[in-house]
Amino acid sequence: MEAFNIQSTADNDFRAQVLDKIDNLTKPKGSLGRLESLAAQVCMIQHTLSPELKNPCNILFAGDHGILAQGVSVSPKEVTWQQSYHFLEGGAGISFLCRQHGFRLMVVDAGIDHDMDYSSGIIDMKVRKGTRDFSVEAAMTPQELDLCIERGARCVDQAFADGCNVISFGEMGCGNTSASSVWMHLLAGIPLAQCIGAGAGLDGKGVSHKLEVLAGAVRKFKDGNLSCSVRDILCYFGGLEMAMAVGAMLRAAELRMVILVDGFIMSACMLAASRLCPEVLDYAIFGHQGDESGHKLLLESMNARPLLHLDLRLGEGSGAVCAYPIVQSAVRMINEMDSFRKASVTKYF
């Protein structure tokens, strides 16, 4: 697996300078709440008292899941390739949000089970046509996992080279809530039943069936894997698009980029990334708490405080992009508000 050199943003001396600047803006101390802590985090990431957010980008990774054969999702597999074209045609949810908030949208074929037309603008990073069915065997090989992580990192390199320093990630892959639920269960130690939700719209009977299938797959995995390492878990249950997102998150942190984390699936990817390199969490801003069952518990396992709670469960990076204006406000606060001294206002607290 590619080695990532991610530096912790912890620096007590510099943090004291950041907080001194924030505390001496023309407002009561702490009165701008989360904007203040967000501004401090961005300052620490960029190691500057005058942070900038430049050329935001949302990278959307798409891939298919073999577990779909077990009836764990109401969405047919062809939706993955159909929606992948739709994103770039401009009529999808993430499409209008990226236009609204000035994000470049990159759509990446991580493992779509279809012969794609890359002249459409979709980026070809395909590792294989969908994962294997993890209720039967490992979803991917260690070599395929490494290739996903490497290619996810390469996508971030491209965005960074184009001047991006704030990035979000999305996904498209029917069945990926199943993979995410198992990652959450095994990496965070949360009971499997609390990790499973309706996904794209399963009814109660469908959710029960999903739990039965996933529980059986976990038993099979544990019987055949004595170590149950993070790599083992990612290989056995991962989606190609999810593993690619993990690599992308790790590279973004290595490049000291601000990472906006989307919903349930991308939170599971951040959890996996943090189990490989804990320092990645220093760079993560969690956009929202979604409507998918278990997302709240998943966020709590990382001590994450989401900015929004809008009952979203679309994925695609939608919640992360929606939250971006709040991060912009935090950066504007520290850059554009006067200090008491500059404004000749008596410090009144």
Question: Residue 61: left if φ>0, alpha if ψ -120 to 50, beta else—which one?
Answer: beta
Burial (Cβ within 10 Å: 0-12, 13-18, ≥19) of residue 229: exposed
Tell me which of 35-39, 159-163, 307-311 is least confident. 307-311
**Mean per-residue pLDDT of the chain:** 94
Question: Residue 201: left if φ>0, alpha if ψ -120 to 50, beta else—which one?
Answer: left
Percent of the chain residues past pLDDT 70, beyond the cut: 98
Residues 42 and 66 in one domain: no
How does residue 226 score in pLDDT terms, banded at 50, 70 and 90? low
Is 17's pLDDT higher than 90?
Answer: yes
pLDDT in tens, 68-126: 999 888 788 999 999 999 999 999 999 999 999 999 999 999 999 999 999 999 999 99
Residues 133 and 35 in one domain: no
Residues 64 and 31 in one domain: no
What are the residue numbers of the active site? 316
3-state secondary structure of 64: coil
Residue 199: predicted pLDDT: 63
Residues 141 and 160 in one domain: yes
Is 349's pLDDT higher than 70?
Answer: no
How does residue 48 score in pLDDT terms, banded at 50, 70 and 90? very high
Is 344's pLDDT higher than 90?
Answer: no
Residue 308: predicted pLDDT: 96
* Average pLDDT rounded to a whole number, residues 41-57: 98
Residues 131 and 48 in one domain: no
Q: Let me know: does 145 contact 235? Beta carbons within 8 Å.
A: yes
CATH classification at residue 46 = 1.10.1610.10
Amino acid letter, residue 96:
F
pLDDT in tens, 231-240: 999 999 999 9
| Pairing verdict, β 284-286 and 258-261 | parallel
Question: Measured between alpha carbons, how far is 271 from 163 in angstroms, rounded to an integer?
Answer: 27
Higher pLDDT, 279 or 346: 279
Residue 109: predicted pLDDT: 98
Question: Measured between alpha carbons, how far is 134 from 237 in angstroms, rounded to an integer?
Answer: 6
Residues 37 and 63 in one domain: no
Is 197's pLDDT higher than 80?
Answer: no
Residue 90: predicted pLDDT: 95
How does residue 24 score in pLDDT terms, banded at 50, 70 and 90? very high
Question: Measured between alpha carbons, how far is 338 from 343 in angstroms, rounded to an integer?
Answer: 6
* Number of separate domains in the chain: 2
Residue 279: predicted pLDDT: 98
Residues 48 and 181 in one domain: no
Task: Report if pTM > 0.85.
Answer: yes
Note whether residue 349 is domain-resident: no
Residues 86 and 166 in one domain: yes
**Which residue range forms the structural domain that includes residue 271?**
57-324
Contacts of 94 (CB under 8 A, 6+ apart): 58, 60, 87, 105, 170, 314, 316, 317, 318, 321
CATH classification at residue 138 = 3.40.50.10210
Residues 62 and 33 in one domain: no
